[in-house]
């Protein structure tokens, strides 16, 4: 569920950790490097069984864009809805309101940090 969205069909590699003695009942963590045509991102994904017996997962991706956050918001993320600001950083959300993105100025560009919680 989470991996398909984060990785898709892109070139990637992962460093994963899990409880070797009780993997089905404990948290799984993976740090993932993903290569895209316009750069690379890093994602951290966590998945665990919830009380219902189904899996819950969350991921956070970090992606550097070689354009200002203002320009990135108006072009790359133009389909995303403005959701406000936190500590002076722009917060966006996707059309369904289930994925959040924060834009952090960095160097000559912008770091887009995206997060979502997924329930099975």
Q: What is the tens place of the pLDDT at every residue in 52-103? A: 888 888 999 999 999 999 999 999 999 999 999 999 999 999 998 889 999 9
- What pLDDT, on a 0 to 100 scale, did the predictor assign at position 69? 96
**Separation of first and last alpha carbons in the chain:** 8
Taking the C-alpha atoms of residue 83 and residue 3, their distance in angstroms, rounded to an integer, is 26
How many structural domains is the chain composed of? 1
What is the CB neighbour count within 10 angstroms for residue 102? 18
Range of the domain at 53: 2-119
Cα dihedral value 5, 83, 95, 107, nearest 10: -50
Helix (H) or strand (E) holding 54: none
On whether the pTM is more than 0.75, the answer is yes
- What pLDDT, on a 0 to 100 scale, did the predictor assign at position 25? 84
């Amino acid at each position: 569920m989470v991996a398909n969205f984060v990785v898709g069909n892109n070139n990637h590699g992962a460093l994963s950790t899990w409880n070797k003695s009780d993997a089905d009942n404990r948290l799984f963590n993976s740090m993932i490097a993903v290569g895209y045509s316009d750069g690379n991102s890093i994602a951290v994904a966590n998945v665990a069984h919830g009380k219902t017996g189904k899996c819950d997962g969350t991921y956070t991706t970090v992606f550097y864009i070689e354009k200002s956050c203002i320009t990135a918001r108006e072009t790359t993320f133009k389909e995303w809805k403005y959701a406000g600001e936190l500590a002076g950083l722009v917060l966006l959300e996707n059309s369904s309101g289930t994925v959040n993105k924060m834009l952090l100025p960095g160097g000559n560009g912008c770091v887009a940090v995206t997060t979502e919680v997924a329930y099975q």
